[in-house]
Structure 1
Amino acid sequence: MAPPSPDVRLIRVSTRDVPACERTPFWREVFARQMCRLEFEPLSEGPLDVSATLLALPGLSVGRCLSAMHARWSRTAELVKDGDDAFALIIPLAGTVNRLQRGQELDAKPGEAVGILHSEPGGIQFRELNDLAVMIPRSALAPHLPDLEEAATRLVARTNDALRLLRHYLMAWRENFDITDPAVCSLAVAHVHDLVALALGSTRDAAAVAKGRGLRAARLQAVKADIAANLTARDLSVAAVALRQRVTPRYIHMLFDGEGTTFSQFVLAARLAHARGMLLDSRHAHQAIGAIAYASGFGDLSHFNHAFRRRYGATPSEVRRGEA
């Protein structure tokens, strides 16, 4: 695998990696203040137990935080002097987040989202936390939104399609971001910008661009994830996926057309890759090839053998023996 771009940083931090007596000062001074430019204040007794993952890309930062204790993250009047003008979208995955800024309180529950401006004092409070936070420079969002300050005062509903797709898009990045091509990385960042703008209510012209770029990419990723999750199902069809994803079969066909392939070709390739993985895995050495084909979603062994040889230039038996 190619090394990550020097412009991409993935940081994982946990208080469990620090001696108990050093956890609070480490989390407050090193991680919160120095790395995140935030204040962290525990609001309950007991040992600090917090972990976080931070992915920093050009024009975008994505954070994931887990905390089992009552606490508060905030940007104080002193900290906002650092000039950070990012907009942060907080997306709770579990637990309720109470957001306070400009004297206004908003409670965001799982599936919802709430914004906060880094250029003004404010913060979030919670009893337990499992969230995603997306930080985007103001300059990247301003062209898409008529009033960013006003957008930060609105709760984004869980029924918001752009938010649902944004959450799905980001969850794939939470542990590993293995994009090494700078051009692809820039496109991925643009997709997130588009989805955030759509979720917040972008201008008409910006929405038209976003729907053709970020929304389309996130829809396709969601469809591919749905296929992967149901790969072995005999009833895996474009109609079934469309129903689960709340789109039309024609729209799914159009998504794959844009990649120069078809729904059926993608499913076939995914099933063949699944079967090949099982054939190469010693844990499945006792399984007959027919059983592996069936476990990979194939109902016809002859069709499986023919498609496998055409794809990999070798029979399943040859691949299992390491001859190809």
Structure 2
Amino acid sequence: MQEDEPAFRFSTDELPERDRLPIWREAFGRRIVKLGMEPVGDGPLRIEGHIQALPNLAIASFSSTPARVTRTRALASDSSDDLVLVISNGGVMFHQGNKEVELGTGEALLWSNAVPGGCLHNVPIDRLLTLAIPRIALTQTLANPDSALMQRIPRDNEAVRLLAGYVKILQGEIGAMSPELKAASSAHVQDLMVLALGANRDAAHLARGRGVRVARLQALKADILANLTRRDLSIDRLAARHGISPRYIRALFDGDQTTFTDFVLNQRLARAHRCLQDIRFAGYMISTIAFEAGFGDLSYFNLAFRRRYGVTPSDIRAKAIPGKG
């Protein structure tokens, strides 16, 4: 898949059940991912795949009923020397060369597209994540490239956890990214990959100052948005959940040219602004909307709202929903 190609989605649910396996094998397995597949058990085959491209990086996630997946010598001879980091979301047994590795939820390993191999999962898998990049991009940055292949990476590996969270955010945003942002995001993903696999000293220094900081900040922002309506949301609680210091969080937001306090305030104001324009909230008092956005002081909410938008909450509501000002 090339960088300038659109995202590719595939679901066997769109195919007649009796034709699923042959169509998947030809249209998707052989042409797209260069893999063969056999269902395990008596149930019908069900597969969903989503592939997106960034510069020097392909991001894919797959869900499947129990299956045996193989990359034969013929399929492995397609000239691709990509290395693929697999992050599992369930029990999957991988084999390549003379090695077998079983991955549990959150565990990862590095796979080579240039070598025959495969995997087996006797239970359904959901959102198995793969990150494929050209071999040279990793071998120039790893302390010991050959020893990294087919080695289980535990789920408590910090770089893998940050990587999985960062990629999840990226998958929803790639379509709207500029070429420059796509290139930067690809570099951040590769930073986290090499740290997870064992970066050499120079690469590790670069990755910690670039990819790790970006991924941590994205994880913090996602946490804030998930807890935005809690009035006990604080930098100390956030730091405790992520196992880092409040000082480090302040530094991350400072590098993003904002502060923790300003980010929280702006997100709460934006949430209230959206609600005031939404007909579904027309029956809510403005004070209720403010409190449910996380504000504990109505006077402060009104003052901050006017500073941010130049008008009062009532003005926004009256314009969007006549008769409700």
Q: TM-score scaled to structure 1, two decimals?
A: 0.94
Q: Answer with 53-62 or 158-167: which moved more.
A: 53-62
Letter aligned with residue 288 of structure 2: A
Once residues 172 and 59 of structure 1 are traced to their aligned partners in structure 2, the CA distance between those partners, rounded to angstroms, is 19
1:69-119 CA distances to partner (integer Å, 9 max, x unpaired)? x212222111121111111111112x2011101111111100111121101
Once residues 221 and 240 of structure 1 are traced to their aligned partners in structure 2, the CA distance between those partners, rounded to angstroms, is 17
What 5-or-longer segments of structure 1 have no aligned partner? none
The residue correspondences of 1:107-146 to structure 2 (distance < 5 A) are 107-127=102-122, 128-130=124-126, 131-146=128-143
Cα deviation for residue 176 of structure 1 reads 4.9
Task: Choose from 307, 312, 316 the match for 1:315.
Answer: 312
Once residues 150 and 125 of structure 1 are traced to their aligned partners in structure 2, the CA distance between those partners, rounded to angstroms, is 23
Once residues 123 and 101 of structure 1 are traced to their aligned partners in structure 2, the CA distance between those partners, rounded to angstroms, is 7
Runs of 4+ in 1 over 6 A off after TM superposition: none
Task: Choose from 230, 235, 240 the match for 1:238.
Answer: 235
Cα deviation for residue 234 of structure 1 reads 1.2
What 5-or-longer segments of structure 2 have no aligned partner? none
**Conservation of the 8 A alpha-carbon contact between 2:144 and 2:198:** no
Task: Choose from 193, 213, 219 the match for 1:196.
Answer: 193
Task: Choose from 75, 88, 91 the match for 1:92.
Answer: 88
Report the secondary structure of 1:54's partner residue: strand
Aligned to 2:43: 46
Q: Answer with 27-36 or 143-152: which moved more.
A: 143-152
Identity %: 44
- 1:106 matched to 2:106? The reply is no
Once residues 111 and 155 of structure 1 are traced to their aligned partners in structure 2, the CA distance between those partners, rounded to angstroms, is 11
Cα deviation for residue 140 of structure 1 reads 1.2
Once residues 5 and 193 of structure 2 are traced to their aligned partners in structure 1, the CA distance between those partners, rounded to angstroms, is 20
Once residues 112 and 91 of structure 2 are traced to their aligned partners in structure 1, the CA distance between those partners, rounded to angstroms, is 19
Once residues 93 and 19 of structure 2 are traced to their aligned partners in structure 1, the CA distance between those partners, rounded to angstroms, is 28
Cα deviation for residue 58 of structure 1 reads 2.1
Report the secondary structure of 2:196's partner residue: helix
Q: TM-score scaled to structure 2, two decimals?
A: 0.94
Task: Choose from 69, 74, 89 the match for 2:70.
Answer: 74
Report the secondary structure of 1:225's partner residue: helix
**Conservation of the 8 A alpha-carbon contact between 1:116 and 1:123:** no
Once residues 213 and 5 of structure 2 are traced to their aligned partners in structure 1, the CA distance between those partners, rounded to angstroms, is 24
Task: Choose from 7, 12, 15 the match for 1:10.
Answer: 7
Once residues 71 and 149 of structure 1 are traced to their aligned partners in structure 2, the CA distance between those partners, rounded to angstroms, is 28
Once residues 124 and 24 of structure 1 are traced to their aligned partners in structure 2, the CA distance between those partners, rounded to angstroms, is 17
1:170-202 CA distances to partner (integer Å, 9 max, x unpaired)? 112345523431111100000000001000111
Once residues 86 and 77 of structure 1 are traced to their aligned partners in structure 2, the CA distance between those partners, rounded to angstroms, is 15
